[in-house]
Structure 1
Amino acid sequence: MLADFMPFLANVLLQVGFAGMNITSKLALESGMKPLILVAYRQIFATLAIAPFAFFFERKTRPKITMPILFQIFLCSATGATANQVFYFVGLENTTATVACALNNVLPAATFVLAALFRQEAVGINKASGLAKVLGTLICVGGAMLLSFYHGDVIGIGESEIHWHYADKMSSNGSSGATGSNFFLGPFLVMASAMAWAIWFILQGKTSKNFPAPYTCTTIMCFMASIECTIIGIFTDHKSSAWSLSSPIRLVAALYAGIVCNAIAFSVMSWSIQKRGPLYVSVFSPLLLVIVAILSWALLSEKLYVGTVVGSLLIVAGLYAVLWGKDKEMKGNGKGEEEKVAGDRNIHNDLELQLQPLPKGSQLGGGGGTVVN
């Protein structure tokens, strides 16, 4: 029972971690930190954080690292670490956070389509489990869009008593660091980020089967991504002042993003994909909007609207539908395997009975002859 509950709990906690990253990273960007430099530091700190776990926990159980495995990990680093994060943070810099969050929630739908195309996920629309997964995914995306684009009336629940005054100070001091928005470029890059993330889920699903060592896989992936992102960051801005981490919020944002949202997140997601498949993991992403909305109200004094509450309820309902469909599908597959094993066992027993030597003097069928041993 606990083993079945662990993937659910782990993925919910991951979304809480991602929500914290959104807040700290937003403050770092508002303080004037360049998004590509933040991404580069994120990969470097992630590599340093996860490497000891890979060495101590998997040095005896780690499968052999072959060239095909390295190539698969390289593709994972190029899509899930480099492309996804570079596109998202540059897109976030060129659009509003609301639009970025909304467009990023095409992830479950994109993952479901790709997983179905690569036969990592059964659609089964004629079954209740398949219909629940399809409708649940659509409800999750619809709820995320509603939460982001529709406000409605303000819900009068009062002001939060734990408002983070440091956020106000950072926003006012670093407002000059914003570069404005681009109506086309920002949304386009955020959608490209979601597609790169969906591709990573599919690639990681195959890599986890061929190389079941999540800590080692994450270490190599983050190391490759740190090289890729550092080259990109230096190419765009090579001034030493731009790479300075003297500001506390920049250091906290880089450490938090690297350790929590790369090192821990990639390891947990790789393990969850290995256990439940790529769709199961990706469908938790709309929860991020709900958590961010709550934290934004509590820490940043943002208001809660009717659209926020209705969208959150739709996200939870859609998530429950997908999880129900996935659970029913896995139980059906398990029952089918048990029936297949039982059938094979019966066939094996029948063959053994047929091949056993007959006792002396026994007769075969309707013939009158006896068998002499």
Structure 2
Amino acid sequence: MDSKKPYLAIILIQSIYAGMFLLSKAAFNGGMNNFVFVFYRQAAATIFLVPLALFLEWKSLPPLSFGTFCKIFLLSLFGITLSLDINGLALVYTSASLAAATTNCLPVITFFLALLLGMEALRLKTSAGIAKLAGIIICLAGVLTLALYKGPHFEVFCLRHLSQQTHHAQTLDTATSSGLTWIKGCILKLISVTFWGLWLVLQGPVLKSYPSMLLFTALQCFLSSIQSFGIAIALVRDPYEWRLGWNVRLVAVAYCGVVVTGVTYYLQSWVVEKKGPVFLAMSTPLNLIFTMLCSAFLLCEFTSLGSVVGGLLLIAGLYSVLWGKTKEQKLMNQNCVDKECTELTIVTA
């Protein structure tokens, strides 16, 4: 049973992320403003994480310099606040399935950004380097397919199918006629994922100066709450837009703020410790499968051929980059072992 726990954990992680896309889309369909949603989500995450972080890591609290605080502030602004705000707009313009599909290019974009910043190397004379370059190209082809090609739409039975056939017809007309809006949503989603990838790349250097992981995350959530509140209060002046009530809006806020931020944070750290980051990254396509099935049955979203083909291309690009990265890591480890054996032989002699 212990050997199966990591597999059960990644299924739960990707199910939670699928629920995040579905509940967020349902809240937006119910009229909730995207910027208000992000503020409430980050506020809920802050209320959940700050007491927990202070209770568990107060005794080992590292010093926080002004320079490090400014770096964390900028990380929160671009990697969390702007990324979530732009992601919400993209979700309004497109669908939950596309949001889940585009998430598959996060490891590829993260690698590309690390390459531009000199944190990664691309050796085109090796099979690993060629695989990583091919993965980037395939990922780009997948994004272009999602944005520019729709093809025929597939309609499946959903919970509201029998009672809202008129709604389905209107939805299909909208889906087939709003190509410009769809492209705009795809571009916004790509920008959001780029900010997310930049956040992942730049976290490493900041964590060296502030190594408390839980407090680091809680501080980012707190700063993001302030930032997202400033953006929301500037753009949303209607008091009605800020009401939650006992409806899907409150459920979406609580779920994204507590379950996604709290539960998945712990589970992902545990999986990375047990199986490594590549194992976790390879489970990302499960998110697309869960989201596509649930959005069709629960939200009655139409699935287009372009979404399926684009999603498959993104998955292929993801696995190509991960294969190249894994092979390169194995070669580096082998060289390290060989070097140690040589040094040990010299010392023994």
Paired residues for 1:109-258 under 5 Å: 109-143=108-142, 145-146=144-145, 150-152=149-151, 159=157, 163=159, 183=181, 186=185, 189-258=188-257
- C-alpha deviation, 1:320, in angstroms: 3.0
After superposition, the Cα gap between the structure-2 partners of 1:116 and 1:271, relative to the gap in structure 1 and judged at 3 Å, is farther
Q: How many angstroms apart in 1 are the aligned matches of 2:219 and 2:86?
A: 21
Say if 1:250 and 1:98 are closer, same or farther in 2 by CA, change over 3 A.
Answer: closer
Could you tell me how far apart the structure 1 residues matched to 2:69 and 2:144 are? 38
CA distance in 2, matches of 1:28, 1:52: 28
Q: Distance in 2 between matches of 1:9 and 1:143?
A: 29
- Equivalent residues of 1:154, 1:303 under 8 A apart: yes
Q: Answer with 120-129 or 138-147: which moved more.
A: 138-147
Give, in whole Å, the separation in 2 of the partners of 1:108 and 1:311.
Answer: 16
Cα distance in 2, alignment partners of residues 143 and 185 from structure 1: 16
Identify the structure with the greater helix proportion. Answer: 2
Counterpart residue type for residue 97 of structure 1 = S
Alignment check: 8 A CA contact 1:204 1:273 kept:
no
- Corresponding letter in the other structure for 1:23: L
Instruction: Please say which of residues 28-37 and 236-245 is displaced more in the overlay.
Output: 236-245
Give the whole-Å Cα distance in 2 for the aligned partners of 1:35 and 1:344: 59
| Helix, strand or coil at the partner of 1:256 | helix
Q: Measure how far apart 1:292 and its partner are.
A: 2.1
Structure 1-normalised TM-score?
A: 0.72
Separation in 1, partners of 2:9, 2:119: 21
Distance 1:340 1:243 in 2: 62
User: Are 2:118 and 1:96 equivalent residues in the alignment?
Assistant: no
Give the superposition deviation at 1:150: 4.2
Gap change, CA 1:136 and 1:193, over 3 Å in 2: same
CA distance in 2, matches of 1:303, 1:92: 15
Larger CA deviation: 222-231 vs 110-119? 110-119
CA 1:259–1:197 in structure 2 vs 1: closer, same or farther (change >3 Å)? same
Which amino acid is 1:245 matched to?
L
Residue aligned with 2:32, SS: coil
Which structure is higher in RCO with an 8 Å CA cutoff and minimum separation 6? 2
User: Where does the alignment leave 5 or more consecutive residues of structure 1 unmatched?
Assistant: 351-373
Larger Rg, first or second structure (1 or 2): 1
Consecutive unaligned residues in structure 2, runs of 5 or more: 172-177
Deviations 1:247-269 (A, max 9, x none): 41110111112123334456666
Residues in 2 aligned to 1:119 and 1:133: alpha-carbon distance in whole angstroms: 15
Mapped pair 1:69 → 2:68: yes
Q: Quick one: which amino acid aligns to residue 195 of structure 1?
A: T
Identity, in percent, stands at: 33
Residue type matched to 1:292 in 2?
T
Between 333-342 and 24-33, report the one with greater CA deviation. 333-342
Query: 1:197 Cα shift?
Result: 1.6
**Equivalent position amino acid for 2:220 in 1:** M
Is the contact between residue 114 and residue 199 of structure 1 (CA under 8 Å) also seen in structure 2?
A: yes
Q: Give 2:54's aligned residue.
A: 55
TM-score, normalised via structure 2 length: 0.76
**1:332 Cα shift?**
1.9
Equivalent residue number for residue 334 of structure 2: 335
Are 2:77 and 1:87 equivalent residues in the alignment?
A: no
Aligned-pair CA distance for 1:329: 2.0
Cross-structure match for 2:35: 36
> Contact (CA 8 Å) 1:140, 1:314: kept in 2 or not?
yes
- The offset of 1:118, in angstroms, is 1.9
**One-letter code aligned to 1:96:** T
- The one-letter code matched in structure 2 to 1:116 is L
**Aligned counterparts of 2:271 and 2:227: Cα–Cα separation in 1:** 26
CA gap 1:9/1:322 in 2 versus in 1, 3 angstroms: farther
Whether the aligned pair in 2 keeps the contact of 1:129 and 1:325 (CA below 8 Å) is yes
Structure 1 residue 55 displacement after superposition:
3.0
